[in-house]
Amino acid sequence: MSTSPNLKSNIKLRSGVSVTSITGKGLFKSFGEGEMQTTAVNDVSIDIKQGEVALMMGPSGSGKTTLLAILSGLLKPDSGKVTALGQDIWTMSEREREHFRLKHCSFIFQGYNLFSSLTARQQLEIVAQWGDGASSREARKKADEILDVLGLLKKAHLRPGELSGGEKQRVAIGRALIKNPDFCFADEPTSALDWAHGEQVIDILRSAAHERGCTVLIVAHDARVIPYADKIFYLEDGKMIDDGGKSIHKTYGKMP
């Protein structure tokens, strides 16, 4: 198991007790056959506590997205075990896993993936209505609460075409948070944004973790995210590197 460098040791975890939220053990995943085979995730073990912001870094092609997908129940590992909230998610049936994701998991992917025909508010409402079976009234109330927190209430009636990139990504975060998830998986949520907006996004995810107890796993390239993380993992060629932060320093330079 990798005990990754906690570069920001002054962060206090809520309630002081740290509960293991998700663990991966001995994870392997390779693509292709024979000569063409690439091992995207190679014997990785990982452990994230509840309410933590975990940051996953590493060069392009190192397997970050693949690992995120395995941990989040989207991509089956070739071998290894993922335990989330005490449940082994890869021995579940497809249906059970889908239900698990419905109850506990949210996602933010690169590119905002918002319905071009729906307003910011509707993007959130659709998750509340279709996911939780909320009435349109409840859904609207919840959506407006979240949009308010995200500073988007005034733009609730606008469609993606009328929103800036940062606003769109905040709507995507709102869509992830409206179900009050136990996990939020974010694959490069900031890479399309300038730092001012990227910081805003990370800040929101951090308060989701620290204030709501959501376990957040962020894949990011930007070294400026590092100070916001409770825990950092570094992947290279599908392997988790645990050298007390040296690789991170080497790749991303001196910490701010």
Given 24, 51, 63, 189, the residue binding ligand ATP (CB under 6 A) = 63
37 makes contact with ligand ATP (CB under 6 A): no
Should residue 40 be labelled a site residue for ligand ATP when binding is judged by CB under 6 A? yes
190 forms part of the interface with ligand ATP (CB under 6 A): no
Q: Binding marks (x or -) toward other proteins, 221..240, rule CB under 8 A?
A: --------------------
Query: How far is the CA of 122 from the CAs of 59, 143, 149, 150, in angstroms?
Result: 36, 8, 16, 15
**Which residues share a beta bridge with 105?**
183
Residue 57 interacts with ligand ATP (CB under 6 A)?
no
Tokens of 15: 């309630």
Binding residue for ligand ATP, selected from 61, 131, 213, 227, defined by CB under 6 A = 61
Instruction: Report if residue 69 touches other proteins, rule: CB under 8 A.
Output: yes
Nearest Cα to Cα of residue 70 among 242, 235, 241 = 235
Q: Does 131 bind other proteins (CB under 8 A)?
A: yes
Give 180-216 as a DSSP string: --SEEEEESTTTTS-HHHHHHHHHHHHHHHHHH--EE
Structure tokens at 134: 């909320």
Give the nearer residue to other proteins in terms of CB position, either 13 or 126. 126
**Rounded to whole angstroms, how far apart are CA atoms 231 and 198?**
19
- Kindly give the pairing relationship between strand 38-49 and strand 20-31: antiparallel
Q: Is 136 in the site for other proteins (CB under 8 A)?
A: yes
Q: Which residues form the interface with other proteins (CB under 8 A)?
A: 65-66, 69, 72, 74-75, 98-103, 105-107, 109, 111, 113-119, 122, 126-127, 130-131, 136, 159, 175-176, 179, 187
Q: Which residues form the interface with ligand ATP (CB under 6 A)?
A: 31-32, 38, 40, 58, 60-66
